[in-house]
Each structure stands twice: as structure tokens, then as C-alpha cells.
Amino acid sequence: MSALRVAVTGSGGQVGSRVVALLRGLSVPVEIFAVGRARLDVTARDEVHEFVSALRPDWIINCAAYTAVDRAETEPERAYAANAMAVRWLVEAAERSGSRVCHFSTDYVFDGSLGRPYREWDRTNPLGVYGASKLAGEMELRTGLDLCLRSAWVMSASAGNIAATVGRLALSRTEMRFVDDQFGSPTSADDLAAATIRLILSSCSGRFHVVNAGAASWLEVARHLAACVGADPDLVKPAATAEMRERFPAPRPVYSVLEPAALAAGGFEPLRDWHEALAESAAQALEAGAWS
Ligand SMILES: NC(=O)c1ccc[n+]([C@@H]2O[C@H](COP(=O)([O-])OP(=O)(O)OC[C@H]3O[C@@H](n4cnc5c(N)ncnc54)[C@H](OP(=O)(O)O)[C@@H]3O)[C@@H](O)[C@H]2O)c1
């Protein structure tokens, strides 16, 4: 059996680093070409073409993205370059090299007004620049070939994500405030990476919602994480989105819970409950001292 050739862009990011780690641990033969921003700037068309045509990978897992939701409001050109045009360059290069693209998108493509969890086929209507640029990226993908995995509220044991911020503050017994009026699907980067690899190994295409089971407000997520590191959950105080607008100016959907309807219809195992997944991330972080 010849090795599956997989290129991973944005490999230094939260999801990219987990995807690469899990690919390295696979028992099937895989050749991995992992590149961070320093090796491949996905917004540079020539670099993308050169990289893809030299390697001719079976799959390009695009973990590179502009993810600064609030900053995107004042930097739309940068958001669209990384989240939309870069996908065009990757798909264009993939088309010429016989490669397929696996791309990530977000719950922020929805406006949050539906009143029930969003399925893959529900109408999109992003409220902010980040969501709009991610939706533009989705539109570049090829039906029947590429994969579009929409996830949400992704967290991991590594530093530099919301779970790490909560963990650090909770461990130092510092009070913090989280909104109790935005609801979503908290998701572990490890579980997202594992599901990504399952879908690739099954040669799937199309759009999937890939999130841990269950829904929560940010307040519930932060209180759960505080409890997981052995701190008092009441260190986390409730706040309203309106009160936090100065710190978080980008508009966000109030209810963007994702239903993994395509995974269920395709006979794939649903991801486990978010409480268990984030408890595992917290335990890993405690063991590694990553949130201290
Ligand atoms: N995090 C979430 O809550 C969440 C939720 C839903 C969907 N997603 C999606 O999941 C995917 C992965 O997100 P993540 O959480 O892993 O984000 P992340 O930690 O911010 O990682 C993104 C990576 O992309 C790199 N990058 C940015 N611009 C680049 C460019 N022009 N060329 C090459 N690399 C570039 C970044 O490098 P620098 O660090 O140097 O900028 C970073 O390593 C993204 O598509 C994101 O939209 C994330």
C-alpha cells in the first residue's frame, strides 16, 4: 500500500499542530509535509503553486487562517487574503496537481437567529468580517472533491487559546468574566483533528459540522474549565455581551450551536460530549504545566 501524501499548512497553529501530531501517530503509511507560515505563506499565489506542484500531495489540510475575530473588523483585506484568496490559490494548485483540499470553517458563518442548532445546509449570514471571509473561503472549494469542516469554539491544552487563559487565571485564583448570552459548541482541537483524519482516510468530500456534542455558553465553558483545574467555578462571573463590546467589538452570533448532521447521516460516530473532551485537555495541560 503506497503512503498517503498529506501536506499541512498553518502547522504551527492550534488545529494544525494537533493534526500533524495525530498524523505522525497513525498506523497506516503517511508522508507528512507540514509547513508553518515561515515556510509557506498561503496568501502568496506563487509560493502555493510551487509548494503544491513540487509535492503533489493526495491531500492538503489547510489549517492556515486569519483567526483574529475582532481585529478582522478593521483589517478586512488581511482577513480575506488569508481566509478566502488563499483557499482559491490552494484549490487552483490542487486542481493542477491532482490533490484534494481539506479546509476548516466556522460557526460564525451563521447569524445565530435560527433558534435551533445549525445543520450543514442551513442558510448562512455572517455578522462580522471574520465570518464573511471564512464563508468566502468555503465558496472556493470543489464539490465532490474537497472537504469543508465547520467547527466552533476550538480549545486545547496548548497555550494561546481561551481554555489556557481560563486555566491560568483559575490556577492563580483570579476572578474573570465570561458572557452568559452567547451559546455555541465547545470543541477540543484533538477531537477535531482526529475526526479530520477519519474523514480523509474515508476519502470524504463535502461539508461537515465537526464539533463535540452538547451546547454551552462561554460562562458554562469557563466554569467547567475552572473546576477541571481544581479551582472554584464561581471565580468566573457572568457578563452580558453588551457590557463586553469595547473589548470584543466584532458582532457574534448569540446561538451558533452546530449540529453534526452530515456525520450522523454518513454513519460516522459523533464526537463525545464537550465536558469530557475539555476535561481531558485540562488534565493534559495540568500534567505539562502548560497553563501555569
Ligand atoms: N479556534 C477556533 O475557535 C475555531 C473555530 C472554528 C473554526 N476554526 C478554524 O479552524 C482553523 C484552524 O484554526 P486554529 O484555531 O488552529 O487557529 P490558529 O491557532 O490561529 O492557527 C492559524 C495558523 O495559521 C497561520 N497563518 C496565518 N496566516 C497565514 C498565512 N498567510 N500563511 C500561512 N499560515 C498562516 C497562523 O500563523 P501565525 O501564528 O504566524 O499567525 C497560525 O499558525 C481555521 O480555519 C479557523 O478559522 C477555528
Between CA 56 and CA 51 the distance in angstroms is 8
DSSP state of 258: B
What are the φ/ψ torsions at residue 253 (nearest 5 degrees)?
-65, 145
Q: How far is the CA of 232 from the centre of ligand 1 (A)?
A: 31
| Given the residues 66, 108, 130, 255, the one annotated as active site | 130
Average pLDDT over residues 84-92: 98
Amino acid 94 reads: A
- Count CA within 13 A, CB hemisphere, residue 292: 7
Q: How far is the CA of 9 from the centre of ligand 1 (A)?
A: 9
Between CA 115 and CA 123 the distance in angstroms is 13
pLDDT score recorded for residue 291: 86
Asked which of 77-81, 166-170, 187-191 is least confident by mean pLDDT, the reply is 166-170
Average pLDDT over residues 214-243: 96
pLDDT score recorded for residue 160: 83
Supply the DSSP string of 112-133, one letter for each residue: S-SSSPBPTTSPP--SSHHHHH
Q: Which residues line ligand 1 at a C-beta cut-off of 6 Å?
A: 9-10, 12-16, 37, 40-43, 63-67, 82, 104, 106, 134, 151-154
Closest by Cα among 209, 155, 208, 151 to 18: 155
- Of the chain, the end-to-end C-alpha distance in Å amounts to 45
pLDDT score recorded for residue 12: 95
Nearest CA to ligand 1 atom 40: 37
pLDDT score recorded for residue 224: 96
pLDDT score recorded for residue 292: 84
Q: Is the pLDDT of residue 159 over 90?
A: no
Q: How far is the CA of 142 from the centre of ligand 1 (A)?
A: 21
pLDDT score recorded for residue 56: 98
Q: How far is the CA of 126 from the centre of ligand 1 (A)?
A: 18
Asked which of 31-35, 135-139, 262-266, 285-289 is least confident by mean pLDDT, the reply is 285-289
What are the φ/ψ torsions at residue 212 (nearest 5 degrees)?
-70, 155
Handedness of CA 52, 197, 32, 9 (dihedral sign): positive
Percent of the chain past pLDDT 90, that is, above it, reads 96
pLDDT score recorded for residue 72: 98
Q: How far is the CA of 2 from the centre of ligand 1 (A)?
A: 30
pLDDT score recorded for residue 95: 98
Average pLDDT over residues 250-267: 97
Between CA 162 and CA 227 the distance in angstroms is 15
Nearest CA to ligand 1 atom 26: 64
Could you tell which of 15, 185, 188 is best to mutate to test the pocket of ligand 1, judged by most ligand atoms within 8 Å of the CB?
Answer: 15
Is 118 annotated as catalytic?
no
Could you tell which of 9, 61, 67 is best to mutate to test the pocket of ligand 1, judged by most ligand atoms within 8 Å of the CB?
Answer: 67
Average pLDDT over residues 5-21: 97
> Contact, 101 vs 89, CB < 8 A?
no
pTM for the full model? 0.97
Q: Across the chain, what does the average pLDDT equal?
A: 96
Nearest CA to ligand 1 atom 24: 64
Q: How far is the CA of 134 from the centre of ligand 1 (A)?
A: 11
Q: Is the pLDDT of residue 227 over 90?
A: yes
pLDDT, tens only, 60-79 = 999 999 999 999 999 999 99
For residue 17, the ligand 1 atom closest to its alpha carbon is 16
Q: Is the pLDDT of residue 1 over 90?
A: no
What CATH class is the domain 4-152+187-211+256-272?
alpha beta
Q: What beta strand segments (E) does 97-186 contain?
A: 100-106, 147-151, 154-155, 176-179, 183-184
pLDDT score recorded for residue 273: 98
Nearest CA to ligand 1 atom 43: 13
